[in-house]
């Protein structure tokens, strides 16, 4: 059951990062923020990588390297497409759609890797996804109306593509980390993501270096903690993928949704607690079913 502990550690870390991101991205673009996030994760993880590079045996057959490449490209594309969906659509419609990743991961892993989906796991995926959507739903927004309206918009289509791509990267991670040590794999994922996101920043902005330095100087403490937590959390999630199916890991990873919900209640005086509590209970039930 080590995979469960690693996933919960990663989910907690990513949840904490999302709370800090709420503050940072109030006046920082998502592209600049995530590019800096990835670079800092790479910087903080490099000493760990160097240690394991000299202590672990290396194995990198073609298919494992291909899986690594798919994950690198997929993560960058998914991020860019997700941000497009947020920019063009309503947050209350877009964000819940991104919680469909475990559904896509389970289906893709079953086809590509031949991973079995038990009744308990399928129920866990459905429960966790449903719970996350309930938690993230905004007040006075109808689920059915959101679906009916949303499916005709480019924003919702982009959000679905984003969730699908994250499902693809999850399966790629699951395959590759069974061959390439997660401690090594994590470093190259950061190399790929940092390169891709910096390229996106330079493509989109005239002077991205200045914007990166400005936001880092303004939120330096937040960014340092973000880089450290990101490095540790991503290693934990790859350790989990190396030991358990993509469907299980991505389902339990939904736990990260609860962190900003708790923070919202404690720090930002957010309302509608009854709905969030119900959604959280359903989400946790799904996690429990997935861990069986």
- DSSP code per residue over 48-71: HHHHHHHHS-----HHHHHHHHHH
CB 254 within 8 A of CB 287: yes
Tell me the three state secondary structure of residue 94: helix
* pLDDT tens digits, 186-244: 999 999 999 999 998 888 888 888 889 999 999 999 999 999 999 999 999 999 999 99
CB 254 within 8 A of CB 103: no
Q: 84: burial class by Cβ within 10 Å (0-12, 13-18, 19+)? A: middle
Closest among 184, 17, 169 to 82, alpha carbons compared? 169
pTM, entire model:
0.84
Q: In terms of pLDDT, which residue wins out, 240 or 97?
A: 240
Nearby residues of 83 by Cβ (< 8 Å), 6 or more positions away: 30, 31
CB 249 within 8 A of CB 240: yes
- DSSP assignment of 121-154: HHHHHHHHHHHHHHHHPPTT--HHHHHHHHTTSH
Residue 90 main-chain phi, psi, to 5 deg: -90, 130
CA dist., res. 213 & res. 35, Å (int): 12
Q: Which residue, chain included where needed, has tokens 């330096």?
A: 220
Q: How many CB atoms lie within 10 A of CB 114?
A: 7
- Sign of torsion, CA 238 249 78 278? negative
Tell me: pLDDT of 289 over 80: no
Say what the pLDDT of residue 208 is. 85
Say what the pLDDT of residue 171 is. 94
CA dist., res. 35 & res. 128, Å (int): 29
* pLDDT tens digits, 134-152: 766 655 555 555 555 555 6
């Amino acid at each position: 059951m080590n995979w469960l502990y690693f996933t919960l550690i990663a989910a907690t870390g990513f949840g904490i990062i999302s709370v800090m991101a709420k503050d940072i991205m109030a006046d920082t673009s998502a592209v600049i923020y995530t590019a800096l996030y990835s670079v800092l994760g790479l910087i903080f993880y490099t000493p760990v990588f160097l240690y394991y590079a000299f202590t672990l045996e290396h194995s990198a057959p073609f298919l494992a390297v291909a899986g690594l490449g798919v994950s690198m490209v997929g993560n960058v594309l998914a991020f860019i497409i997700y941000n497009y969906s947020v920019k063009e659509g309503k947050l209350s419609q877009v964000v819940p759609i991104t919680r469909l990743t475990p559904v896509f991961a389970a289906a893709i892993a079953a086809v590509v890797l031949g991973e079995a989906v038990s009744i308990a796991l399928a129920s866990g995926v459905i429960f966790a996804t449903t719970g996350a959507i309930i938690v993230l739903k905004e007040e006075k927004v109808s689920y059915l109306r959101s679906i009916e309206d949303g499916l005709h918009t480019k924003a919702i289509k982009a959000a679905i593509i984003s969730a699908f791509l994250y499902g693809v990267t999850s399966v790629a991670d699951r395959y590759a980390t069974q061959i390439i040590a997660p401690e090594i794999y994590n470093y190259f994922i950061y190399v790929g993501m940092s390169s891709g996101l910096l390229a996106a920043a330079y493509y989109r902005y005239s002077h991205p270096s200045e914007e990166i330095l400005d936001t880092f100087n303004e939120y330096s403490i937040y960014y340092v903690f973000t880089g450290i937590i990101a490095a540790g959390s991503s290693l934990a999630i790859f350790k989990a993928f190396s030991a358990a199916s993509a469907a299980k890991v991505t389902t339990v990873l939904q736990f990260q949704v609860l962190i900003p919900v708790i923070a919202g209640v404690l720090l930002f005086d957010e309302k509608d607690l009854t709905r969030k509590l119900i959604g959280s209970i359903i989400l946790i039930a799904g996690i429990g079913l997935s861990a069986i």
